[in-house]
A and B are shown apart, each in its own frame.
Chain A
């Protein structure tokens, strides 16, 4: 099955700087790559997603890039704010296997 890995496990950034989290996946059939933000005691919140027919997608301060050849995709957060502090999960999947496979998560800490 699909195996998704995230790096680094913890990331600390100064407020206003950019944060980048990278994920790799193993199944070349995967064509859907969402990112979720999870705050303590809450469920994962979908923040952005990308499908394999595009290489980049942006939504205000966040963007996702996809490299299908290398089987990796990244989340970019610009102008970080304290409220961006959370655990971020990447996931991968395709319609044929009925599920998303998640990475183990990255703890992002934005230092005011």
Chain B
């Protein structure tokens, strides 16, 4: 069946621009997670949704980062006034259960801020 999809796959932004990254989770999956992966590192947690409720946003690095999942399916991660340190791969994962188990990842969006 269809897995997690993310768009765009690649995004180049000039410093100071706003970007929006989209995640389409596996249909019916309750939990949705966003992670940030720097080059050569493991994914780092950003935020967690259970259906439309954002239950944990403690991993968001600054108030320039904002995530939403208004109808409990598609999610958008928005970064305002991008900085060079925001350059990374942004990964989305979803899970059927309403918790951390069996997370399935999308291919990621590679963001480059110039």
B107 interface residue per 8 A CB criterion = yes
Interface of A toward B, CB cutoff 8 Å? 4, 32, 34, 36, 41-46, 49, 89, 91, 93-95, 98-105
B101-A32 in contact (CB<8A): yes
- Nearest residue, chain A, Cβ from B48: A98
A95-B99 in contact (CB<8A): yes
Please provide the 8 A-B residue pairs with the shortest distance between their CB atoms, ordered closest to farther: A102-B42, A43-B105, A99-B45, A98-B56, A98-B48, A43-B107, A95-B99, A44-B105
Which secondary structure characterizes the binding site on chain B? Answer: loop
CA distance A41 to B109 in the complex (A): 10
CA distance A46 to B104 in the complex (A): 7
B67 interface residue per 8 A CB criterion = no
Contacts of B43 in A (CB 8 A): 44, 89, 100, 102
B65 interface residue per 8 A CB criterion = no
Interface of B toward A, CB cutoff 8 Å? 4, 6, 33, 40-45, 48, 55-56, 59, 91, 99-108
CA distance A94 to B101 in the complex (A): 9
CA distance A100 to B91 in the complex (A): 13
19 other contacts beyond A95-B99, A99-B45, with CB at 8 A cut-off?
A42-B107, A43-B4, A43-B6, A46-B104, A46-B105, A89-B43, A94-B100, A98-B48, A98-B56, A99-B33, A99-B48, A99-B59, A100-B33, A100-B45, A100-B103, A102-B43, A103-B42, A104-B40, A104-B41
